[in-house]
């Protein structure tokens, strides 16, 4: 009996609209590009108004010559999206699967919102893994000790055993990776 009363109370609240504002409230409007692309355009407009060059030195955005490199997903046909990006003045447009990459003029970024062929666009950040090439395995195998003891630093090494030309592969150290190579 008590359970039935609770169910009816919840249904009454929903019917009155008590849950309506909580469900309908959307903290962020739907957009077709990331916030950093929108902020980049705002900075671009401000730089034009101030008659100064766009300063992106502190930014990780891929910007050069007032063009930003983006990756975008198409809603349907990526070739249609590529054509639309060309129409906006994009350069170096490339299609791969559903993804389209292009260098888009920063001034044309707001126009991305109107493209029906665009699902979403984001900056094409590049990832680099720069640093030491040694790992925990290097220490575990004591390769660092061997390098120091024998004064080895890798200079002069041009090929690994498996990278030898086919006429020299017979002398390759027999390992599964070498045997699998044609």
Q: Which two tokens stand for residue 134?
A: 């040694």
Q: Which pLDDT tens digit goes with each residue over 123-176? A: 988 766 555 556 677 777 777 788 788 887 767 665 444 444 444 444 444 444
Asked if residue 37 lies in contact with residue 124, where contact means CB atoms within 8 angstroms, the answer is: no
Q: Which pLDDT tens digit goes with each residue over 54-76? A: 777 767 778 888 889 999 999 99
pLDDT surpasses 70 at 45: yes
pLDDT of residue 165: 46
pLDDT of residue 177: 44
pLDDT of residue 83: 94
pLDDT surpasses 80 at 179: no
Mean of pLDDT values over 4-30: 60
What is the architecture of the domain spanning 35-123? 2-Layer Sandwich (3.30)
pLDDT of residue 172: 42
pLDDT of residue 79: 94
Confidence class of residue 29 from pLDDT cuts 50, 70 and 90? low
- Which of 152, 101, 107 is CA-nearest to residue 124? 101
> CA-to-CA distance for 182 and 175, rounded, in angstroms?
13
**CA angle, 60 as apex, 54 and 62 as ends, to 5°?**
70
pLDDT of residue 55: 76
Strand-pairing partners, residue 94, are 101
Q: Where are the alpha helices (DSSP H) in 25-162?
A: 35-50, 78-87, 136-140, 143-150
Q: Which pLDDT tens digit goes with each residue over 80-115? A: 999 999 999 999 999 988 899 999 998 899 999 999
**CB within 8 A of 20, min separation 6: which ones?**
none
Place of tokens 């090494």: 157
Q: b or e along 83-121 (b: 16 or more beta carbons within 10 Å of the residue's beta carbon)?
A: ebbeebebeebebeeeebbbbbbbebbebbeebebbeeb
> CA-to-CA distance for 147 and 151, rounded, in angstroms?
6
């Amino acid at each position: 009996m008590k359970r039935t009363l609770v169910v009816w109370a919840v249904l009454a609240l929903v019917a009155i609209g008590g849950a309506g504002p909580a469900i309908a409230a959307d903290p962020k409007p739907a957009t077709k590009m990331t916030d950093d692309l929108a902020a980049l355009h705002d900075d671009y407009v401000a730089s034009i108004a101030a008659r100064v060059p766009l300063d992106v030195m502190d930014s990780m955005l891929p910007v050069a010559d007032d063009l930003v490199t983006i990756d975008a997903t198409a809603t349907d046909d990526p070739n249609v999206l590529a054509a639309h990006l060309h129409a906006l003045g994009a350069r170096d447009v490339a299609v791969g699967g559903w993804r389209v990459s292009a260098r888009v003029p920063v001034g044309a970024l707001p126009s991305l919102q109107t493209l029906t062929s665009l699902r979403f666009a984001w900056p094409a950040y590049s990832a680099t893994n720069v640093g030491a090439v040694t790992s925990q395995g290097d220490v575990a195998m004591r390769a660092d000790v061997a390098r120091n003891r024998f004064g080895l630093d890798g200079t002069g090494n041009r090929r690994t055993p498996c990278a030898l030309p086919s006429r020299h592969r017979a002398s390759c150290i027999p390992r599964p990776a070498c045997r699998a190579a044609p």
